[in-house]
Amino acid sequence: MTYSFENTKILIVEDNKPMLLLIKSVLQSFGVTNIVSALDGEEGFHKFCSTNPDLVITDWMMKPCDGVELSRKIRNERKSPNQYVPIVLMTGFTEKKRVINARDVGITEFLAKPFNARDLYKRLHRIIEQPRQFVRCEGFFGPDRRRKSPETYEGVKRRRSDMADQQSSDVKITDIDFR
Amino acid sequence: MDNKHYNQKPRRNAELITVPNILKAKVGSGGLSDKILDRAQDLLESHSEDFTPLAEIYLSRMKEAINAAKSSEIDSNNLEDLITDILVPCVQLKANGAMFNYPLVTRIAGKFAQFMEVVDTLDNQTLDIASAFHATIKIVVAGKIKGDGAAQGNALVHELNNVCMRYFEKNNIK
């Protein structure tokens, strides 16, 4: 048994037409039949609102509206039909500072260009098999940015729930029966 | 609890939302077979789309950006924008070269992008190196050098890399 993409709809946003055709043909070879396309972020958001796809694959660098701005709109605008849709951002940028900026608008997966068919498949597979929870907090809405498991996470723990975890491990308040 | 510094970032009330996995429900399970993935890879490698018109657009934007930087009075207000104007077409060439069977363009543009991400000035020396990268990529595209360029390709990348390393050493950039 293999994945069947027959009932899925995927939106590709890419201003480079030859590249758009290339990605389309790879997805078609994966079995995706319903592909919607747009040539920039503005048209992409319009198509997103009118077709409500199951997945968005977008390039980063486009004018007048780029892939990061498109993602911001999908995640935050009122008329977005699905703020939780998985978004794959394709980019030639690999510098950490730039990737982190993009991650903070709510990208689900990054796909570094140039890529091969297996690279694209890996992102789809991860979205399907290991979906991440969404986080809504002051200043951020999007898939959980902590990709490592809590046991291996070494960064600053800023969530109130982290503090609760810490308290519970420190003093075990929840273990006390007040009745 | 009293061993914590007072200057702590405020804790954030993060709401965790588990979203229904619509995609999984639609596609089922089992993944995709190697046969399907190989066929998709063949498609990527065997397409006949011509890269040169696209590459020429990016090369021309790069040249314009280098020339603009050469003729500008550069200060802290415009430095970042001028660097970005050179960097963006460079990243486009890096991203697209190998997708259109020009991996040597990706390799050279990749080195150039790394260089532009590190520099913090656009003096004559920096712009001369940028021009050298531009000229090299232009030669590869004009010569329709597909593939990795074999030994000559390696020699080109090696020489450009040496130029960058000498620049970093001279300018004390680590």
- Taking contacts as CB-CB distances below 8 angstroms, the residues of chain A near B22 are 54
Instruction: List the domains of chain A with CATH numbers.
Output: 9-143 (3.40.50.2300)
Binary contact (B13, A138; C-beta < 8 A): yes
The answer to whether the Cα torsion of A98, A60, A28, A109 is positive or negative is positive
Of residues A5, A91, A137, nearest to B27 (C-beta): A5
The residue of chain B nearest to residue A5, with distances taken between CA atoms, is: B27
Global model pTM greater than 0.80:
yes
As given in the structure block, the two tokens for residue A14 are: 């890419």
- Taking contacts as CB-CB distances below 8 angstroms, the residues of chain B near A2 are 30-33, 36
Instruction: List the domains of chain B with CATH numbers.
Output: 51-170 (1.20.120.160)
**Predicted pLDDT of residue A172:** 35
| Spatial distance between the Cα atoms of B126 and B135, rounded to a whole number of angstroms | 14
Binary contact (A29, B100; C-beta < 8 A): no
| Spatial distance between the Cα atoms of A82 and A74, rounded to a whole number of angstroms | 7
Q: By C-alpha distance, which of A86, A79, A74 is closest to A143?
A: A86
As given in the structure block, the two tokens for residue B2 are: 């009293």
Chain B segment 46-105 residues within 8 A of A by beta carbon are 47, 49, 51, 54, 88, 91-92, 94-100, 103
ipTM of the modeled complex: 0.86
Quick: pLDDT tens for B29-51: 999 999 999 999 999 999 888 99
HSE, CB side, 13 Å, CA atoms: give it for residue A178: 3
Q: By C-alpha distance, which of B103, B66, B99, B101 is closest to B85?
A: B66
CA dihedral A75, B19, A125, A29 (to 10 degrees): -70
- Taking contacts as CB-CB distances below 8 angstroms, the residues of chain B near A114 are 94-99, 103, 106
Q: Assess contact for B70 and B127: CB atoms under 8 A.
A: yes
Pairs of CB atoms within 8 A across A/B: 152
Binary contact (B117, A95; C-beta < 8 A): yes
**Predicted pLDDT of residue A163:** 56
Quick: pLDDT tens for A52-97: 999 999 999 998 999 999 999 999 999 999 999 999 999 998 888 8
HSE, CB side, 13 Å, CA atoms: give it for residue B123: 6
Sole residue written with tokens 């899925």: A8
- Taking contacts as CB-CB distances below 8 angstroms, the residues of chain B near A168 are none
| A78, burial (CB in 10 Å: exposed 0-12, middle 13-18, buried 19+) | exposed
Q: Does B33 touch chain A (CB under 8 A)?
A: yes
CA dihedral A84, A85, A90, A94 (to 10 degrees): 20
